[in-house]
Chain A
Amino acid sequence: MDFILEGIYKAFLLLLGGHEETWSAVYATVAVSSISICATVLLGAPLGFLLGYCSFPGRRAVRLVVDTLLSFPTVVIGLIVYGFISRSGPLGELGLLFTLQGIAVGQVMLGLPVVVAMVANAVENADERLEATLLTLGADSTQLLRATLWEVRYHLMLATVAAYGRIVSEVGISMMVGGNIKWHTRTITTAIALETGKGEFAMGVALGLVLLIIAFGVNISVSGLKRRVAK
């Protein structure tokens, strides 16, 4: 039990004391999760809109698949991405294995179903009169997409926060694709796995707190953004 208290104390020492290894992991985590969440939202929002707005045969089946993908185990995503970007895999030439960009590919696969499912759901439940109004006003399809996404902006933010939470806390993809390489692809979560594996439980708790502090910062910015958007 003692290690939990010790961990809380250590977390502040690590951050304030400029512990180089921790800061390197913080950088890796922030960098990779930023790329991942940007790509996830840029891809996921239009896809979610299409899925929620258009009616086409097999749409319900697609929704079911997307909802099921919400439960995709991260280690399996890691293995699939590894299979493709391994030097002996079809995309081996790109040299993505053991890089932050490689991890981002997997994290986008992880975050995408969250954004697609939540945006699709919001678009489905959006005011039906919106579409009719926009069309009567002569909106083209791009304008329709933008106006609808603007209308469901709070849901989109919520989806982003949920996807970010999954992305920043995953360990399976980062471990398998990134390789937990010190100074390069060691993220906070893989560092936690390593320290726990080494029996340094207090260090594991401390790093966990550091991750929570980052997530706290992100959520504060999002809620600030939300207030500004509401004005």
Chain B
Amino acid sequence: MVKQLSLPRMAIAVAVIAAIILPMLMPSWATLITLILAKGIVVLGIIILLQAGQVSFGHAMFFGIGAYAVAFWGKYVGPGDLLLFLVIGPVLSTIFGLAIGLFMVRYREIFFGMLNLAFSMVLWSLLEKMYHYTNGADGIRVPRPTLAGIAFTPETFQYVMVYLTLALVLITSFAVQRYLDSPLGHMLRAIKSNETRLEYLGVSARKVLLIGYVISAFLGGLGGVLVAVTQQIATPEFAYWTKSGEFVFIAILGGTTSAFGAFAGAAVFEFVRFLAAAKLANAWQLILGIVLIVIIMYAPGGLIGLLKRKQPLGEKP
């Protein structure tokens, strides 16, 4: 038993330590690591839905809602505190998640994906066209907030962000993993494997899916707040379909069997894009596309699947 878990656990430990130490060694990476972690939080939400076999091709809308909650606050209310943002963003995305989710849980598979896409594109069009309220395609600048009333210099703030995000990552991953291991999580997986049986057992599949959907909307909003504050901007691109595609892409890249996959996927995705945009500016999409195809064809479990596969055969559960 112990040995089975040792490899992924060690990988997680190494990743956490790397996330703690790297920003100190290489300050310029602090922002990149923050973005990776924040995006990983959004991908956690995608992974939850994937347990139920549902792919949201519009999850960027919750990401966008979180980001614009912060942006609108700055534009219409005034300077804010990060703690406040971390409440209003996710709360808003959760409310939207609940409202949209009530419709969404009636749908499965391609229809689920399409309706999500449709909602996200409506949000995107509104953000893009309501120029006088949203600044249109250029987005809204997000000034550097205080944290618990303390204002930070830019240098310190990047560390604040990276460690705060890391803490949130640990909390959310732990919670999500607990949720997936709970009876609710098992029921969620039953939607994928055998929804009818779930209903025969007297469980409302829609309710189970709704809970998962709302949690994933919450995570989307949380990630949106973190990215908007880190990048100091929110743009309609945050809600565009390619962003949604990116989140699903990262989930599959990382592997959907555990929360850690979200962060492994986000790390590889962002590093490849970052390095390729730096060294091979002409070919970063090409490289990412090929990486994804190779992973899908030859590593069905994603990156964490690769880690697990290295275990000796005899030790398989």
Question: Are A and B subunits of one complex?
Answer: no
